[in-house]
Amino acid sequence: MTDVKSINNPLFLREEELRQAIELLFFAYRDFTAGPDEILKDYKFGRAHHRVIHFVGRNEGMTVSELLDILRITKQSLNRVLSNLIQRGFVEQRQGEEDRRQRCLYLTEEGRHLEQKVSRVQRELVANAFREAGGEAVAGYRKVLTGLIDETNRDTVLSRILKT
């Protein structure tokens, strides 16, 4: 394939490399979400429910506005999903102790069970990819993905991810 582009245009290979990296991310993300989607279908939940369960599970007691800030959707969009999860007993709200306007969010036992079940397939997928790729590659994965996060709130996002 020694065509004119790769001979004459030094930027061509770079552009091609970037395009491949973009598609790789597209396909990886597609398959990365396929497992959870499959499981959640049995519960008649969608990806929006998954996100709520995931983030509430990782941040027990978080408020509605914190969740809105992470998901970057409107409160009306969230509310449909959230009230559904509450009604069906996967998430519960408690009034904030300091600020009683706040509704702090928790997974119920059933919610935690679903979170585990869904999270497991995803963790196994990632664990396999990590194992195959090796430790050095994992460090590179982290570096590059970190660099893809919007610079203006990268620190906020990272602290949210890393906070245990």
Partner DNA sequence: GATTTTACGTCAGTCATGTTGACATATATT
Partner DNA sequence: AATATATGTCAACATGACTGACGTAAAATC
Binding site for DNA (CB under 7 A): 44-49, 51, 63-65, 68, 71-83, 93, 96, 98-103
79 binds, among its own copies, DNA, none (CB under 5 to 8 A by kind): DNA
**Any contact of residue 38 with its own copies (CB under 8 A)?**
no
**Any contact of residue 125 with its own copies (CB under 8 A)?**
yes
**Any contact of residue 86 with its own copies (CB under 8 A)?**
no
Q: Give the list of residues 6+ apart from residue 32 with CB closer than 8 angstroms, or none.
A: 122, 125, 126
Separation CA 2–CA 21 (nearest Å): 21
Q: How far is the CB of 19 from its own copies (least distance, A)?
A: 7
Indicate the residue among 20 and 95 with the shorter CB distance to its own copies. Answer: 20
Q: Tell me which stretch binds its own copies (CB under 8 A): 38-46, 91-99, 104-112, 129-137.
A: 129-137
Q: How far is the CB of 49 from DNA (least distance, A)?
A: 6
Closest-CA residue to 93 (of 118, 121, 61): 61
**Any contact of residue 113 with its own copies (CB under 8 A)?**
no
b vs e for 116-137, b when ≥16 Cβ sit within 10 Å of the residue's Cβ? eebbeebeebeeeeeeeeeeee
Indicate the residue among 71 and 125 with the shorter CB distance to DNA. Answer: 71
Binding site for its own copies (CB under 8 A): 1, 14-16, 18-32, 34, 51, 58, 72, 119, 122-123, 125-130, 132-134, 136-150, 157, 160-162, 164
